[in-house]
Amino acid sequence: MNKIKLTLREKPVVVLEAEVISPDLFVEQSNEEIRASVVYHGKRQKRIDDFFDVEGERSDCIEIHGDLNRVRHVGRAMTRGEVTIHGDVGMHLGALMKGGTIEVHGNAGDWVGGEMKKGKIHIHGDAGQQVGAAYRGSILGMQGGTIVVDGNAGIEVGMRMRRGIIVIGGTARDFVGLQMKGGTILLCGGAEIRTGAWMQRGTIISLKELALMPTFAESGAYNPTFLNVYSQHLQALGVQLPYAEADGRYRRYSGDRGVPGKGEILIWEPAV
Amino acid sequence: MTCTLGEVKNRADFIVYWGGNPAECHPRHFTKYALMPKSQFLPRGRKDRTMVLVDIRETKSVKASDVFLQVRPGKDFELITVLRAMIKDQPISEAQIAETGLSVEQLQDFVARMKAARFGVFFFGMGLSMTRGKHMNSAALLTLAAEMNAFTKFVAMPMRGHGNVTGADVIMRWQTGYPFGISFNRGYPRYNPGEFSTVDVLVRGDTDCAFIIGADPGATMPKPAIEHLKRVPTIVLDPHVTHTSKMARVHITTAPAGISAPGTAYRMDEIPLPLRPALESPYPSDEEVVRRIKETILKKPDWMGERPQMLTTQV
């Protein structure tokens, strides 16, 4: 398949804002047009080929090589296509995206999939803070789509999210699902403190014990039926979610009563 | 939701200091604004007011308080969220409350006092805003104050540190719309604390120059940030030799503002106070230095090139 390959020649000295690296734009551009796309190196306007070697043209399949941890806004608001990054990547990866897939073989910065609506992001390494979160002053975070992080994540994962699924394979830090309004967060390696703080609705599933806020109340243990469906859906993404009664059950906590909210936290309790 | 200290002085009959030690850090706060003054609405002064101190340890401010609530360190956010639930009569179990280091009776008494107040104020200090949770701890207290307005008048105000920190926030706010953490690199202000706030930018090493006016990050910021300041050309404007100026490439000595240079200082409640210089100084003021630097920069060609290009959807 026709592919566009970008290779970073050397790491930018200051932040490089490259929202032009998006399948929506590249699919209609010739190699020369892609090379001439404007990126912001700090305050200065530069061309993409000042930093990257560009191969290929007119494709919505982009492959990027190099240490991009100062390159921000990659795949911003994209609606189609594929972006594959071999190396680390900076903040706002796939923010506001409405479709397509992003795969990162490395670590990602903060605001991965911030306020995204649709599409899929898979980070094979660690992610930074505010995964799938709302921007400052905004009411809704992620409103759909899927984010899978194989490694750890920072604070405020899924802050104010409304819909969609976030999977954290490792450990998340404080404030997972802060002010969450809907959607699902799956924590395979547990989280630090204040999980689900101020949540209104939505589901946080943890496969490890959690230190909960004092405003959550225990409300039974069971095996929710909807998890069978979830488990099958997540299996396609390579995530194992236990649900069979023979393997154990989920303890359910509801809250956050400070709001007061109707969110739920499910903590997996394996059968002995 | 905030007010001026004049309103506190004249009307506030319920004062809460949270995570601060005003007796030692803001010694005139009690006598000038918060506790002692008599007014038309509080004719008996201190006797008409209730003061609650919330802190993790007993400080000298405890003596001035009517009620002292000793919260377990790092449990401020939990305590405030429990209070948010309690003011709305949500059931919270005793064991859950005990986690915060306080008893049910203490919190019930606190909530009853808050609801009975005519005008309540939360003053919060670094013990709240600079411990684990940071901005969310402050956000929690501000939300509690907002929600208390369903019952009675309640406001919250940060106890600001030394120097004109409020002034910096106020000026940035009316100039750009945002108080701090602003980037101008696309030609218009964008706000995103965590991405553009000074300490984060320096820790990640995302700048190739630093220009510091009247601040001493070398004494307060984490080590990676200081290491980065040493690496890049750092320019400091300060009347004194500071930790930062010692490692800076350039240190321009300026006249101390308020003493030898005129200007406007902002009180912690954002009231501007004009300052007249009392002494002459051989050094230029910060303003003059910055103006001359700006004039020189304006002689260079415009870096913006074509007009600023907005991000497709505003962040």
In total, the C-beta contacts within 8 angstroms joining chain A to chain B are: 99
Instruction: Specify the pTM.
Output: 0.90
Q: How many angstroms separate the CA of residue A24 from the nearest CA in chain B?
A: 12
Nearest to B82 among A110, A217, A258 (CB): A258
B304 vs A contacts (CB less than 8 Å): 43
Is B119's pLDDT higher than 90? Answer: yes
Over residues B156-165, mean pLDDT: 86
Q: How many CA atoms lie within 13 A of A239 on its CB side?
A: 32
What percent of chain B is modeled with pLDDT above 90?
63
User: What's the token pair of residue B114?
Assistant: 């808050």
Q: Which of chain B's residues have a Cβ under 8 Å away from the Cβ of A38?
A: 309
B272-275 and B263-266: which strand pairing? antiparallel
Question: Cα separation of B301 and B290, whole Å?
Answer: 19
Beta-bridge partners for A185? A166, A204
Is B131 a residue whose pLDDT tops 80?
A: yes
Q: Give kind and range of the element (H or E) at residue A248.
A: strand A248-255
**Confidence class for position B186, pLDDT limits 50, 70, 90:** confident
**Helix and strand numbers, DSSP H then E, in chain A:** 3, 17
Burial of A226 (0-12, 13-18, 19+ CB in 10 A): exposed
Cα(B106)–Cα(B248) distance, rounded to whole angstroms? Answer: 51
Mean predicted confidence (pLDDT) in B186-191: 88
Q: Containing H/E element for B203?
A: helix B198-204
Short-list A133, A130, A135, CA closest to A161: A133
C-beta separation of B167 from B264 below 8 A: yes
Residue of B nearest to A199 (CA): B81
Q: Are the C-beta atoms of residues A108 and A83 closer than 8 Å to each other?
A: no
**Number of helices and strands (H, E) in chain B?**
14, 12
Mean pLDDT along residues A173-195: 93
Q: How far is A136 from chain B (nearest CA, A)?
A: 7
| Chain A residues within 8 A of B99 when measuring between CB atoms | 214
Instruction: Outline which parts of chain B fall under CATH 3.40.50.740.
Output: 165-298
pLDDT at B266 over 80: yes
Smallest CA–CA distance from A213 into chain B, residue: B78
Q: What's the token pair of residue A132?
A: 């799938």
Cβ(B6)–Cβ(B114) below 8 Å: no
Q: Which of B96, B192, B305 sits opposite A136 (nearest CB)?
A: B192
pLDDT, mean of residues A256-264: 91
CA dihedral A117, A119, A125, A131 (to 10 degrees): 10
Q: Give first-to-last CA distance, chain B, whole Å.
A: 25
Nearest CA distance, A257 vs chain B (angstrom): 5
Kindly indicate the confidence band of residue B144, based on its pLDDT and cuts at 50, 70 and 90: very high
Q: Domain spanning B5-158: which CATH class is it, in words?
A: alpha beta
The answer to whether the bond into A260 is cis (omega within 30° of 0) is yes
Q: Best residue in A45, A67, A72 to probe B by mutation, most B CBs within 10 Å?
A: A45
A85, β-bridge pairs: A64, A104
DSSP A132-169: TPPPTT-S---EEEEEEESS-B-SSTTTT--EEEEEES
Measured CA to CA, the distance from residue B228 to residue B247 in angstroms comes to 11
Please indicate if any CB of chain B lies within 8 Å of the CB of A211. Answer: no
Q: What are the strands of the beta sheet with A16-17, ordered from one edge?
A: A44-47, A38-41, A16-17, A71-72
Confidence category of residue A208, pLDDT binned at 50, 70, 90: very high
In this predicted structure, the answer to whether residue B315 has a pLDDT above a threshold of 50 is: no
- The residue behind tokens 């701090």 is B180
* pLDDT tens string A117-153: 999 999 999 999 999 999 998 999 999 999 999 999 9
Intra-chain end-to-end CA distance of chain A, in Å? 50
Chain A hits for B186, Cβ within 8 Å: 17, 40, 43
Mutation choice for B interface testing from A50, A69, A257 by most B CBs within 10 A: A257
Bond from prior residue into A256 cis (ω within 30 degrees of 0): yes
Fold classification of B165-298 is Rossmann fold (3.40.50)
Contacts of A13 in chain B (CB under 8 A): 208
Chain B residues whose beta carbon lies within 8 Å of the beta carbon of residue A94:
none
Q: How is residue A181 written in tokens?
A: 């309004």
- Would you call A76 an interface residue with chain B, using a CB distance cutoff of 8 Å? yes
pLDDT in tens, A51-110: 999 999 999 999 999 999 999 999 999 999 999 999 999 999 999 999 999 999 999 999
Please tell me the distance from the alpha carbon of residue A173 to that of residue A183, in angstroms, as a whole number.
Answer: 19
> Does B165 score more than 90 pLDDT?
no
pLDDT at site A82? 94
Domain ranges of chain A: 91-270
